[in-house]
Structure 1
Amino acid sequence: MSKVDIILVSYNTAEYTVRAIESVFEQTKQTDINLIVVDNASTDNSVERIKQTFPDVKLIETGANLGFAGGVNVGAKAGDAEYILLLNPDTVILEGAIDKLVLFAEQHPQSGVWGGVTLNNDLSLNPNNARARIDFRTLLFSALGLSKLFNKSCFFNHDNYGCWDRKSERDVDVITGCFFLTPRTLWESLNGLDETFFMYAEEADYCIRAIEKGHQPRVTPTARIIHHGGVSEVDLSGKMIKLLKGKSHFIKKHEPSWKQPIFKGLLLLHVFNKYISSSLVALIEKDKQALSNEWRKIFKQRQSWLAGYQ
Structure 2
Amino acid sequence: MKLSIVILCWNDVQVISNCLQSIYSGTHSTDFEVIVSDNGSTDGSLPFIRENYPQVRLIENGENLRFSKGNNVGIAASQGEYVLILNPDTIVHEGALDRWIEFAERHPEAGGFGCRVLNSDGSYQGCARPFPSIWREWLGALYLRPLGYLSDAFIADKYVRWSGETARIIDWQAGCSLMVRSELLKKLGGFDERFYYYYEDLDLCHRIWDAGYPIIYAPDVVITHLVGQSVKSFRIAFEIDKYRNRYRYFYKYFGRTGVRQCRRAVLCRLWIRRIGYSLVQLMRPSDALEKRLALYRAAIEWNRRVDPIQLVESGKEPETTLCVPVHVPQ
Q: TM-score range by the shorter chain?
A: over 0.9
The residue aligned with 1:41 is 40
Asked if structure 1 preserves the Cα contact closer than 8 Å seen for 2:22 and 2:94, the reply is no
For 1:203, give the aligned amino acid.
D
The residue aligned with 1:6 is 5
The residue aligned with 2:213 is 215
Q: Secondary structure at the match of 1:110?
A: coil
The correspondence for 1:174, drawn from 169, 172, 186, is 172
- CA–CA separation in structure 2 for the residues paired with 1:155 and 1:164: 14
- CA–CA separation in structure 2 for the residues paired with 1:62 and 1:305: 34
The residue aligned with 1:299 is 300
Q: Secondary structure at the match of 1:139?
A: helix
The residue aligned with 2:94 is 95
Moved more, 251-260 or 81-90: 251-260
Map residues 78-117 of structure 1 onto 2, 5 A cutoff.
Answer: 78-117=77-116
Moved more, 270-279 or 71-80: 270-279
The residue aligned with 1:275 is 274
The residue aligned with 2:327 is none
Q: Secondary structure at the match of 2:109?
A: helix
For 2:281, give the aligned amino acid.
A
Is it true that 1:132 corresponds to 2:130 in the alignment? yes
Relative to structure 1, is the Cα distance of residues 31 and 19 closer, same or farther in structure 2, using a 3 angstrom cutoff? same
1:137 Cα deviation from its structure 2 partner: 2.5
Relative to structure 1, is the Cα distance of residues 151 and 42 closer, same or farther in structure 2, using a 3 angstrom cutoff? farther
Is it true that 1:56 corresponds to 2:55 in the alignment? yes
Asked if structure 2 preserves the Cα contact closer than 8 Å seen for 1:278 and 1:295, the reply is no
1:166 Cα deviation from its structure 2 partner: 0.8
Identity %: 30
The residue aligned with 2:20 is 21
Unaligned 5+ runs, structure 1: none
- CA–CA separation in structure 2 for the residues paired with 1:92 and 1:191: 27
Relative to structure 1, is the Cα distance of residues 113 and 83 closer, same or farther in structure 2, using a 3 angstrom cutoff? same
For 1:263, give the aligned amino acid.
C
For 1:163, give the aligned amino acid.
R
- CA–CA separation in structure 2 for the residues paired with 1:88 and 1:304: 31
- CA–CA separation in structure 1 for the residues paired with 2:114 and 2:306: 32
1:12 Cα deviation from its structure 2 partner: 2.0
For 1:171, give the aligned amino acid.
I
Q: Secondary structure at the match of 1:59?
A: strand
The residue aligned with 2:262 is 263
Is it true that 1:290 corresponds to 2:288 in the alignment? no
Q: Deviations over 1:187-223 (max 9, x none)?
A: 1221111011101111111111111111111101010
- CA–CA separation in structure 1 for the residues paired with 2:60 and 2:50: 11
1:235 Cα deviation from its structure 2 partner: 4.8
The residue aligned with 2:243 is 244
The residue aligned with 1:74 is 73
- CA–CA separation in structure 1 for the residues paired with 2:262 and 2:306: 16
- CA–CA separation in structure 1 for the residues paired with 2:279 and 2:153: 29
Asked if structure 2 preserves the Cα contact closer than 8 Å seen for 1:5 and 1:84, the reply is yes
Asked if structure 2 preserves the Cα contact closer than 8 Å seen for 1:248 and 1:305, the reply is no
TM-score by structure 2 length? 0.87
TM-score by structure 1 length? 0.92
Asked if structure 1 preserves the Cα contact closer than 8 Å seen for 2:140 and 2:156, the reply is no
- CA–CA separation in structure 2 for the residues paired with 1:163 and 1:108: 24
For 2:85, give the aligned amino acid.
L
Q: Secondary structure at the match of 1:69?
A: helix
Map residues 188-203 of structure 1 onto 2, 5 A cutoff.
Answer: 188-203=186-201
Asked if structure 2 preserves the Cα contact closer than 8 Å seen for 1:245 and 1:305, the reply is no
Unaligned 5+ runs, structure 2: 316-330
- CA–CA separation in structure 2 for the residues paired with 1:106 and 1:83: 10
For 1:219, give the aligned amino acid.
Y
Relative to structure 1, is the Cα distance of residues 304 and 44 closer, same or farther in structure 2, using a 3 angstrom cutoff? farther
Q: Deviations over 1:17-60 (max 9, x none)?
A: 11111111111111111100011112322223222221221111
1:285 Cα deviation from its structure 2 partner: 2.1
- CA–CA separation in structure 1 for the residues paired with 2:162 and 2:269: 24
- CA–CA separation in structure 1 for the residues paired with 2:238 and 2:273: 15
For 2:36, give the aligned amino acid.
V
Asked if structure 2 preserves the Cα contact closer than 8 Å seen for 1:28 and 1:99, the reply is yes
1:136 Cα deviation from its structure 2 partner: 2.1
1:243 Cα deviation from its structure 2 partner: 2.0
Asked if structure 2 preserves the Cα contact closer than 8 Å seen for 1:247 and 1:308, the reply is no
- CA–CA separation in structure 2 for the residues paired with 1:261 and 1:56: 49
Q: Secondary structure at the match of 1:125?
A: coil
